[in-house]
Amino acid sequence: MQSIIVVGSCNTDMVIKSDRLPIPGETIIGGSFFMNPGGKGANQAVAAARLGGKVTFVSKTGNDVFGKQSVVLYNHENINTEFIFSDSKLPSGVALINVDAYGENSIVVASGANANLKPADIEIASKAIEEGDIILMQLEIPIETVEYTAKKAFEKGKKVILNPAPAQALSDTLLKQIDIIIPNRNEAEILSGIKVVEMESAQEAAKVIAQKGVNTVIITLGNKGALIFDQGEFNFVPALVVEPVDTTAAGDTFCGAFSVGLAEGKSLIEAVQFAVKASAISVTRMGAQSSSPYRTELAHF
Ligand code: RIB
């Protein structure tokens, strides 16, 4: 079993579920509230650990109750927390999340200490990068840190997986150091300049992204499934039909599960099938990490 090093964000999610999402200036009464650990990096680390991955999480929290709780939680998840740094000035990351009756969400993140996870921290964590096999990142930490980590990992011959979320344009230099990129429709559009609406446009976008130097492109298409473009060949893994309760972190569960699949030696398509199944379970439950399934659940699903 290969090891997975997740370099990314750690948040506390404050979630309100209501019938619909508010429009600007509107107050909606009648929602229910709960708090839940989140952050794209942490969600992916937890998803991978619950599915049997050997995970190290490189992140930064504030020196506050949220940050301290996170480290305790991730230790309980059997994640190596040696490289979760504590920032002396900035607070831990927080996300305010609204979820509607159809499971759709809107999210605002106050990055806090996540914005201070710098290349110098990655240097301190270089033992983890050097000893790890798969390096999994997202874009909720400074882009200079993602670029620094990708370069370092690429030079050491590691498998670098990037979930380019939240969406932003990326340099060709960075893309050339990524083995596998996992964008959703919106992120694929930002990276390719092609609006992804159906299979044909998804395929066009995947080709454009691959031309920038990424070996494998996997575009997640929500309740449709996932499109794979690898070595000039397309494959499609359909989604499983479920009743969505909350789609928050479905993509994170997908990325964590996919990394475990690869770490176990599954083929690309098998790893995507495994990830599709894990994320289908996650959308049937509320929250980010509270929805992330355990390995035994996949066998029974
Ligand atoms: O991908 C979902 C995550 O995005 C949430 O957990 C929230 O913290 C934001 O980072």
Using a 6 Å cutoff on CB, does residue 45 contact ligand 1? no
| 158-190 tens-digit pLDDT | 999 999 999 999 999 999 999 999 999 999 999
CATH for the 3-300 domain, from 1.10.3720.10, 3.40.50.720, 3.40.50.2300, 3.40.1190.20: 3.40.1190.20
Residue 301 pLDDT exceeds 90: no
CB atoms within 10 A of CB 238: 12
pLDDT, residue 31, reads 85
**Two tokens, residue 106:** 């809107």
Using a 6 Å cutoff on CB, does residue 77 contact ligand 1? no
Edge-to-edge order in the sheet of strand 159-162: 84-87, 54-62, 3-7, 134-137, 159-162, 180-181, 216-220, 225-230, 233-238
Identify whether the C-beta of residue 148 lies closer than 8 Å to the C-beta of residue 119. yes
Residue 257 pLDDT exceeds 90: yes
In sequence order, which residues have a C-beta less than 8 Å from that of residue 170 and are 6 or more positions away?
Answer: 143, 164, 191
| 233-248 tens-digit pLDDT | 999 999 999 999 999 9
| 20-61 tens-digit pLDDT | 999 999 999 988 999 999 999 999 999 999 999 999 999 999
The pLDDT confidence band at residue 103, using thresholds 50, 70 and 90, is confident
Please, how many CA atoms are within 13 Å of residue 226, restricted to the half-sphere of its CB? 31
pLDDT, residue 248, reads 93
Round to whole Å and give the CA distance between 71 and 86.
10
Identify whether the C-beta of residue 62 lies closer than 8 Å to the C-beta of residue 10. no
The bridge status of strand 54-62 relative to strand 84-87 is parallel
Using a 6 Å cutoff on CB, does residue 140 contact ligand 1? yes
Helix, coil or strand: residue 207: helix
Residue nearest atom 7 of ligand 1, based on CA coordinates: 39
pLDDT, residue 157, reads 96
Helix, coil or strand: residue 58: strand
pTM score above 0.95 = yes
Closest CA to 252 of 89, 85, 95: 95
Q: How far is the CA of 125 from the centre of ligand 1 (A)?
A: 23
Q: How far is the CA of 233 from the centre of ligand 1 (A)?
A: 32
DSSP string, 8-40: ---EEEEEEE-SSPPPTT------EEEEEEE-H
pLDDT, residue 22, reads 92
> For the residues 141-148, what does the mean pLDDT come to?
98
Using a 6 Å cutoff on CB, does residue 261 contact ligand 1? no
So where are the chain's domains?
A: 3-300
pLDDT, residue 30, reads 83
Report, in this order, helix, strand and coil percent for the chain, each rounded to 5. Answer: 40, 25, 35
Identify whether the C-beta of residue 7 lies closer than 8 Å to the C-beta of residue 149. yes
Torsion angle of the four alpha carbons 257, 142, 77, 72, in this order, in degrees rounded to the nearest 10: -170
Annotated catalytic residue 133 = no
